[in-house]
Amino acid sequence: MNRTPLGLLLAMLLLCGCGKPADTPAASVPASGAGDQAVSAPESIPIAANPAPDATNGSIVAPAPDDDTAVNASIDRVLGDHARYQAVIQAYQKAVADGDKAAVAALVDYPIKVDIDGSKTTIGDPAAFVRDYDKIITPAIAGAIEAQKYSGLMISGQGVMFGNGETWINGVCKRGSADCSEFEVKVVAIQAGASN
């Protein structure tokens, strides 16, 4: 049986689901030997080919690759065209680091649910996002976005995860693309991470 068409079909089906992660994806992958739990999609795909056991607690910890090759291969395999994702990831990190509220808002898929002052709030457009930017992109969330190394990103069918789940980026079907053959890469979740 030829697996290439099956893999393409699976990738298309994942994208057709609009790719939005749950409000808080399930914790499933250890972040480090320190015992913190990373928030990731239920079926995260490990980036490293040969994870090493962590001597401190016996869990599996994926060693960080020296370059972006493994992450790019994971994005290509699970989500498609890493170059599109990499461009958005880099633009997002730069915009957050620069405090460019309008640039961050332009990268978000609307409507988006976020926590503002402890309650879930739906932000419907870039103007509302910019208005509430400082309540959405808290210092902890900004720190996680800025500190995330590309080579350390977690990839799953739910998208690309930053930090302990503070941000998710994924492909979103363009309006009118019934089969999701046309999609945009957008920020689909902004939330407090598991350790916040």
For the stretch 141-180, pLDDT in tens is 999 999 999 999 999 999 999 999 999 999 999 888 888 8
Q: In the predicted model, is pLDDT for residue 103 greater than 90?
A: yes
pLDDT at position 68, please? Answer: 87
Q: How far apart are CA 102 and CA 126, in angstroms?
A: 7
Query: Which residues are within 8 A (CB) of 53 and not within 5 positions of it... i.e. 6 or more apart?
Result: 59, 60, 61
pLDDT at position 66, please? Answer: 55
Type of residue found at 179: D
Only one residue has tokens 């998710």, namely 168
Q: In the predicted model, is pLDDT for residue 5 greater than 90?
A: no
Report the chain's mean pLDDT, rounded to a whole number: 75
Give, in degrees to the nearest 5, the angle at Cα 28 between 43 and 134: 100
Three-state SS at 173: strand
